[in-house]
A and B are shown apart, each in its own frame.
Chain A
Amino acid sequence: MKRALFALALMMAAPAVAVMPDEMLNDPAQEQRARAISKDLRCVVCQNQSIDDSDAPLARDLRLLVREQISLGKTDGEVRDYVVQRYGNFVLLKPPVEGDTLLLWAGPFAVLLLGGLGLFVWRRRAPAMGSGATPDAAPLSEAERAELDRLAGPQN
């Protein structure tokens, strides 16, 4: 019974949202666009949250601004540019591919390529270095076999 109640409580719990009802647009489609844009915009006060998540007053101002721009008939791209013009690319949680973000975007692939190259070179060189160390080694001599048995100890 307790468990069922607990499960029920969990199911009914709504995620905490920063967007207040009085901020929302009347048109659900527009509101949804506003939410989507807000999720990609960084709150400049609490920098690891989006303005959609943040309770900071400045984040609220920016949410209202996004909604106002949408009501004015701006496209998603135009609304984003409007904010970027004021706060720079920094407000985009997903930075665009540009000259100074190239390292950020290409870095992981460069590391992958480098690692792959290293692995390739290592694999090619490995057999040459060992020059037939294991696969076609000579069988053990009688003395070696006796020594091995001694080391392995008496068999049960």
Chain B
Amino acid sequence: MNRLIFILPIIAFAGLAAFLGFGLTKDPKALPSQLIDRPLPEFALPGIAEQPDASPELAGFASASFKGEPRLLNIWASWCAACPQEHPVLERIAAEGFPVYGIAWKDKPADSRAWLVRYGNPYAGVAADEQGRTAIDLGVTGVPETFIIDKKGRVRFKQIGPISPEVWEGQIKPLMQQLKAEA
């Protein structure tokens, strides 16, 4: 009993150290999205095209169009350092037949256009959120971020940071296939 009193603080310390140590392994940048299983916030964003008639995929889109098929909604910017790294994965996703939509966040349309010319355009639709208001409604904390939207227009998953080939193969692709199969 007497011993126990002296061992107790050591046990308490070990417990606290383990608890805090576990906390250190978590990424504080990865905030859980408030939108999971909720409908996509409403927006209607303009495009980035100089002549919208000539390039309909750059003519912007609205949240209402996210119905009937699962889609990826990617937030990016021409000034974003990690976006070129994610770009080949987006091209691959598009090539595999999954529609990717892109919102250029706090970016000048001319810069967004130049970026797409330089790297190639993986997006089925591109819109501009110059003021960043839609991004705030989406709870965006940085670029790139990607939302997975199901057939009913609900957000089902959020990827913070670039989609790596591993994340695509291991997490997002299986989810997209599952969402495709959903009624």
Residues of A within 8 A of B (CB): 44-45, 47, 57-58, 61-62, 65, 85-88, 90, 118, 122, 129
Contacts and interface: CB of A to CB of B under 8 A. Distances in A.
Contact of A61 (B31, B34, B136): B136
B142 A87 contact: no
> Top 6 A-B pairs ranked by shortest CB distance?
A44-B141, A86-B139, A61-B132, A88-B34, A87-B139, A90-B31
Contacts of A88: 31-32, 34, 139
Contacts of A90: 31
A65 B136 contact: yes
B34 A85 contact: yes
A122 B141 contact: no
Contact of A58 (B29, B137, B141): B141
A71 to B, nearest CB: 15
B173 interface: no
B34 A47 contact: no
10 contacts: A47-B28, A47-B29, A57-B132, A85-B34, A86-B137, A86-B139, A87-B31, A87-B34, A88-B31, A122-B5
B2 to A, nearest CB: 8
B interface residue count range (under 10 / 10 to 19 / 20 to 34 / 35 or more): 10 to 19
Main secondary structure of the interface of A (DSSP, over half): helix
Given A44-B31, A61-B131, 4 more contacts: A47-B28, A58-B142, A86-B136, A86-B138
Nearest to A65: B136
Most chain A CB within 10 A, of B8, B32, B136, is at B136
Interface string B53-88: 000000000000000000000000000000000000
Nearest to B12: A114
Contacts of A44: 31, 141
A71 B12 CA distance: 51
A45 B28 CA distance: 11
A16 B8 CA distance: 48
B108 interface: no
Contacts of A62: 136
B153 to A, nearest CB: 18
Contacts of A122: 5
